[in-house]
Amino acid sequence: MKLTWLKVLATLARILIGWHFLYEGVVKLLSPGWSAQAYLEGSRWVFSGLFHRLASDPTLLQVVDFLNIWGLMLVGLALMAGWLTRVASWCGALLLLFYFLAYPPIPGYTFGMAAEGNYLWVNKNLVELAFLLLLGVAPTTWHFGVDRLLKQWREANVRFPVPPAEPENEKSTPVNRREILRDLVGIPFLGAFAYALYRKQKWDSFEEKYLDGKVDAQTSATLKTFNFTQLSELKGVVPAGKIKDLELSRLIMGGNLIGGWAHSRDLIYVSKLVKAYHTDERVINTLMLAEKCGINALLTNPQLSRIINKYWHETGGKMKFISDCGVNMDFFEGIKSSIDGGAHALYCQGEITDRWVPAGRLDDIAKGIELIRQNGLPAGIGAHRIESIRACAEAGLKPDFWVKTIHHHNYWSAQNNPEWHDNMFCFKPQETIDFMNSLEEPWIAFKVLAAGAIKPEDGFQYAFDNGADFICVGMYDFQIVDDVNITLDTLQKVNRVRPWRG
């Protein structure tokens, strides 16, 4: 009885793994234009060079796609039926080995791949691989299936010239009906698979008809959406400028959205929504995509030092960190925190400057600038109010760069509420333009879209035309390629009076 139950459980495990293989193959076959290219391009472990070469060669990629789809389907069918089980097990184990090597469950090597849970070194691919290796060396009689049925049938029909004498208890007997049913147990599962697939396709059609969306019929083990696929629409990479010896892309990523600081006006739930959206993995994928597009700098608060350092450590990314030093309205505390966090450039946060200037604390801003320079880093001054920038300049402060808001007021909430509220960040745009044009240091412009009130095509053009050397823009992952393309188009037709600084 115990041996029979072991056979039953082994058979069930084989059928379930076969179901998984078959479904993965069928989904790929039914997905128009499916290719392993994005999956291969995203690999970063020791064999990434091989996978990248396969992805870059159209002929080899076609072979990989064909073997992937039909290999999964044939292995799945064989495992469910229990036919040619050893061959199927070894082939399936080889496929799983490739999947494991492409995206091992090692921290830092799984970004860009959809996964059902959290793994550490051991994942589903490795577990299924181990079981298939066991099936590959196990006797045919170890589980029920067509292989076992054929083996018993061959033994029952062996004919010898002179039948050998056999003990009564060892004589071969014809395969009985019960044994046949046991060994064909996979057939009903194939029927169940076909029915389940039919029902799913029917539901997917319903979603397409009524929800007007693209159905993602792939399982969690199959790569769903890889951010890098959007790169096919990219027109080029963002050009760069310099602040001292630090090379920065003209388009800099803002950290407010990643950190959950959303200027959402009366929509009080948005900040929580943004924080929920930006998991560590999404933030890291967003930064990876930005770098692929030529955006090489993130301007944000020292509170994001943790995720930035995680990004550097786990991906080898080179994104530069420009810190606003905004910690508890204490410039000096922010400087220490930013330097400890690995910042490449630091500046006095706009809100700090706007408060310290009227309070007569220009000397403190100057001391902070000097402290940053003593640590060998570019030092800047930021502000929302042009009065703050003017006061610093007139007091003889010469930072390595300025960070100043700039946007026009041709949007609804500015026209209908011309006071300083959460709908306006550059209160005097023309005065800002005139004064910033007189400064020789590079200028990073921020809030160029008035926190989403102005279209990028309009805001980018306005900022670059009116003297900004760099623009800082908060971006979701799905906006990066569009924003880069808009930046490239804008720079092709820029019309500015102020020379490029940096």
DSSP 366-435: HHHHHHHHHTT--EEEEESSHHHHHHHHHTT---SEEEEE---S-SHHHHH--SSSTT-S-S-HHHHHHH
Q: What percent of the chain has pLDDT over 90?
A: 55
pLDDT, the chain, mean:
85
In this prediction, residue 357 carries a pLDDT of 97
pLDDT of residue 170: 41
Given the structure tokens 């490029």, which residue do they identify?
A: 500
pTM of the model: 0.66
Cα distances from 276 to residues 128, 257, 271, 490, in angstroms, run 33, 11, 9, 33
Domain borders along the chain are 2-209, 241-492
Fold category of 241-492 in CATH: TIM Barrel (3.20.20)
- The pLDDT score that the predictor gives to residue 171 is 44
How far, in Å, CA of 362 to CA of 349, rounded? 13
Burial per residue of 308-344, b for 16 or more beta-carbon CB atoms within 10 angstroms, e otherwise: beebeebbeeebbbbbbbbbeeebeebbebbbebebb
pLDDT at 413: 77
pLDDT for position 228: 46
For the chain, the farthest-separated pair of C-alpha atoms sits apart, in whole angstroms, at: 116
Q: How many residues does the chain have?
A: 502
Residue 190, token pair as written in the block = 């194939």
Intervals of the chain under pLDDT 70: 1-3, 107-118, 156-179, 182-183, 186, 197, 199-230, 265, 416-422
Q: What is the pLDDT of residue 473?
A: 96
Record the tokens describing residue 54, joined without a space.
């396969």
Q: Assign 300 to helix, strand or coil.
A: strand
